[in-house]
Amino acid sequence: MTNKRQVRVAMIGTGFMARAHSNAYKRLGDFFPELQHRPILKVVCSRREEKARSFAEQWGYESHATDWRKIINRSDIDAVDICAPNDTHAEIAIAAAAAGKMILCEKPLARTVAEAQPMVDAVEKAGVKNTVWYNYRRVPAVTLAKQVIDSGKLGRIFHYRANFLQDWTINPDLPQGGEALWRLDNQTAGSGVTGDLLAHCIDTAMWLNGGIKDVSAVTETFIKERMHQETGKVQQVGIDDACIFHCHFDNGSLGLFEATRYARGQKALYSLEINGEHASIRWDLHDQNRLGFFDHSDDSLVRGWRSVHVSDSDQPYIDRWWIPGVCIGYEHTFVHHAADFFRSLETNEPCSPTFREAQETQKVCEAVLNSAASRQWQDTGVNWV
């Protein structure tokens, strides 16, 4: 430990993602021992003192705070990890960049393109390391899909299809807003399933298949009014409960995307399928260690979908974990992302997706929402390189 360079982390938030990221930082040194930098869990911040204190105790942070503004400039903080709701990302990131801190920000980058742009400008002006936690890129099977596509095995791509299905907001009595339910409040979240779920699908899609050129979308809000937890009043629901869009990719392929929180029985089913001239790929989060692969050049007598169990040591990230054949899980995607971020401090390469790349996903999300509102095709303005 003594010869490692410390990266002292300020964690903002104590919820789901704060736990996932804290777990990643804690395991990093054990599973990626070659990294020259080590995270130090310096301070965790949540608005409620009791929550911040107990999180610090449970996860091993040296201290806790209730106002991020009071810790952002501290000289004993090197990196700020933003795990608070979407409406906080811009203000925290811009202040952290001005203070010269590295920033790891949860997705979506912000609520809108306009809100995200000064974040991109701020990190680039300050020259600080930055990344956005679109963690599904770092599921080993999805990383393997990228390698297979880049090797040219699929040939020309015709179709890209993705779904992200949940069912947790069907109950009309569920309130909107406040602790745990901020995702239902458009003011805080910026959108519904588009920014929350489709943003993941869009990030993975552009990473695997290139830029999305234009979109045509439909959204629906099934429950029009819900009680707001903070005001106690019944208020109009502003988020999209479901969204379906189709699109053209820059490479000429067609995309079809769907996300909803009204698919009874589905808890977090993210699935994707890519159809190329020579081969196809499919993957889903419920069976995340498997990659479906169909190769038309196989002998026709045995041709069919293969289910590749991505658990062998020559497959992405797997050599860091257990013996070949045994599985890893959701939490490992965050360890992989943290490892790639820490490695980028040594290589001086960007850790993808950067704020600038995440802004491209933001542009697609916004074009989707604009298309649904206007009932017109929308150009995304994406510049994917």
Residues that bind ligand NAD in the complex, under the rule CB under 6 A: 12-17, 45-47, 68, 83-86, 88, 106-107, 133, 135, 180, 196
* Residue 84 vs 184, nearer CB to ligand NAD: 84
Q: Report the C-alpha gap between 246 and 241 in whole angstroms.
A: 17
* Residue 293 vs 342, nearer CB to ligand NAD: 342
Paired tokens of 220: 């629906």
* Residue 86 vs 131, nearer CB to ligand NAD: 86
Q: Report the C-alpha gap between 54 and 51 in whole angstroms.
A: 5
* Residue 140 vs 276, nearer CB to ligand NAD: 140
Q: Cβ 109 to ligand NAD, closest distance in Å? A: 9
* Residue 180 vs 326, nearer CB to ligand NAD: 180
**How many CB atoms are located within 10 Å of the residue 233 CB?**
8
Q: Report the C-alpha gap between 86 and 84 in whole angstroms.
A: 7
* Residue 214 vs 284, nearer CB to ligand NAD: 284
Q: Report the C-alpha gap between 17 and 334 in whole angstroms.
A: 9
Q: Report the C-alpha gap between 6 and 173 in whole angstroms.
A: 47
Instruction: Tell me the β-bridge partners of 80.
Output: 10, 103
Q: Cβ 149 to ligand NAD, closest distance in Å? A: 22
| Ramachandran class of 232: left when φ > 0, alpha when ψ lies in -120 to 50, beta otherwise | left
Do residues 83 and 46 make contact, with C-beta atoms less than 8 angstroms apart? no
Do residues 35 and 340 make contact, with C-beta atoms less than 8 angstroms apart? no
Q: Cβ 25 to ligand NAD, closest distance in Å? A: 15
Q: Cβ 102 to ligand NAD, closest distance in Å? A: 18
Which residue type occupies 188? T
* Residue 5 vs 267, nearer CB to ligand NAD: 267
Q: Cβ 86 to ligand NAD, closest distance in Å? A: 5
DSSP-derived 3-state class of residue 214? strand
Q: Cβ 84 to ligand NAD, closest distance in Å? A: 4
Instruction: Tell me the β-bridge partners of 79.
Output: 9, 102
Q: Cβ 319 to ligand NAD, closest distance in Å? A: 24
DSSP-derived 3-state class of residue 362? helix
Q: Cβ 106 to ligand NAD, closest distance in Å? A: 3
Do residues 134 and 358 make contact, with C-beta atoms less than 8 angstroms apart? yes
Closest CA to 186 of 141, 226, 216: 226
* Residue 150 vs 179, nearer CB to ligand NAD: 179
